[in-house]
Amino acid sequence: MKRRTFSSLAAGLGLAASLMGTSAMAQDNMRIALVVKALGIGFFEAAAEGAQEAAAELGNVEIIYTGPTTTTAEGQIEVINSLIAQGVDAIAISANDPDAVVPALQRAMQRGITVISWDSGVAEEGRMMNLNPSSTELIGNTIIRLAADHMPEGGQVAILSATATSTNQNAWIAAAEAVLPDFPGIELVATVYGDDLSDKSYREAQGLMASFPDLQAIIAPTTVGILAACQAVSDAGKIGEINVTGLGLPSEMAGCVESGATKSFAIWNPIDLGYTATMIAHALATGAATAEPGAEIPTGRMGSVTLDDTTSAAMSDPFTYDASNIDQFKDIF
């Protein structure tokens, strides 16, 4: 009996402490760190813009936009450790490696920091929830459809990816291969890797044109690759014969769409992505929502997301850009 009284007392104290904690938090600015793969990438700069938009909407939220200068897991671990030392309230990370950052993120969670991953996910034990910009299946389907839309009679397509070990690209390519039977006449003849280097991607695109004279489309699900392929096709004088498509940013792709080397391409809206990640991090950090399978988390103007069994959620479908809307978006991101 005595013990029970003590435990309820302890529970009461704990509740009081947590209430005080919450009220103290409400007075101070909540600090949400947006950790990106590397600084200096247009996509992440745009995501940071969306995070600022969400912060302005929520009020009392400060966004710390940070990341390493090169896309390495080691660099991100250093950044995470410094964020733990600063005592931020939440970390939203796009990981360079799904596993290498887990121990650092677990330390953050042990210290009461809300941890979510977005864009490029972290293994389940290293985060509370993961926000995918879209689902892998939807992206795989979209990149094949982008090519197939302009090939009514079918033909050969090839994929120019980033590195052979990129988590994102490999998942999308696997999904694209899975939906190929839905596109009769479309034949995937090769998958090559440009390592996200302009010169290597350019050479790989040249190699594809040399090896497959009947090639009709190059699908590059990476921004460096799609630009290099577009330049290689233009330089080879094959605009109109080979359509370069895939995933790219409107500001970077405007020239390719204008020259006709690219008929259409897709990307989710990174502004929406940074916005949604911030909304979710805020909801979890304030306790307004909990990260558990089946939970529905409201995300402001983006509606809401529902967590699946692995506490992952998909934001929306990728959006297709072409000559009709490129001018509207090229100045945004």
Per the CB < 8 A criterion, the answer to whether 34 and 51 are in contact is yes
Stretch that binds other proteins, among 78-86, 195-203, 289-297, 304-312 (CB under 8 A): 195-203
Q: Which long-range contacts (CB under 8 A, 24 or more apart) does 177-180 make?
A: 177/140, 178/137, 178/140, 179/137, 179/140, 179/141, 179/144, 180/144
Least separation in angstroms between CB 67 and other proteins = 10
Stretch that binds other proteins, among 76-84, 180-188, 189-197, 283-291 (CB under 8 A): 189-197
Between 33 and 253, whose beta carbon lies closer to other proteins? 253
Cα–Cα distance for residue pair 80/101, rounded to 1 Å: 8
Residue 209 tokens read as 């044109």
Least separation in angstroms between CB 160 and other proteins = 10
Of residues 270-299, those binding other proteins (CB under 8 A)? none
Between 41 and 297, whose beta carbon lies closer to other proteins? 41
Enumerate the β-bridge partners of residue 243: 217
Tell me if 242 contacts other proteins by CB under 8 A: no
Tell me if 81 contacts other proteins by CB under 8 A: no
List the one residue from 12, 14, 21, 40 that touches other proteins (CB under 8 A). Answer: 40
Cα–Cα distance for residue pair 224/141, rounded to 1 Å: 21
List the one residue from 256, 289, 291, 297 that touches other proteins (CB under 8 A). Answer: 256
Tell me if 28 contacts other proteins by CB under 8 A: no
User: How large is the greatest C-alpha to C-alpha distance in the chain, in angstroms?
Assistant: 87
Tell me if 325 contacts other proteins by CB under 8 A: no
Tell me if 260 contacts other proteins by CB under 8 A: no
Tell me if 208 contacts other proteins by CB under 8 A: yes
67: left (phi over 0), alpha (psi -120 to 50) or beta: left
Tell me if 193 contacts other proteins by CB under 8 A: yes
List the one residue from 25, 29, 45, 177 that touches other proteins (CB under 8 A). Answer: 45
Q: What is the DSSP string of 250-300?
A: HHHHHHHHHHTS-SEEEE--HHHHHHHHHHHHHHHHHTSS---TT-EEE-G
Supply the Cα-derived Rg of the chain in whole angstroms.
22
**Which residue ranges make up the site for other proteins (CB under 8 A)?**
38-42, 45, 69-70, 164, 190, 192-193, 196-200, 202-204, 206-208, 210-211, 227-228, 230-231, 235, 251-256, 258-259, 330
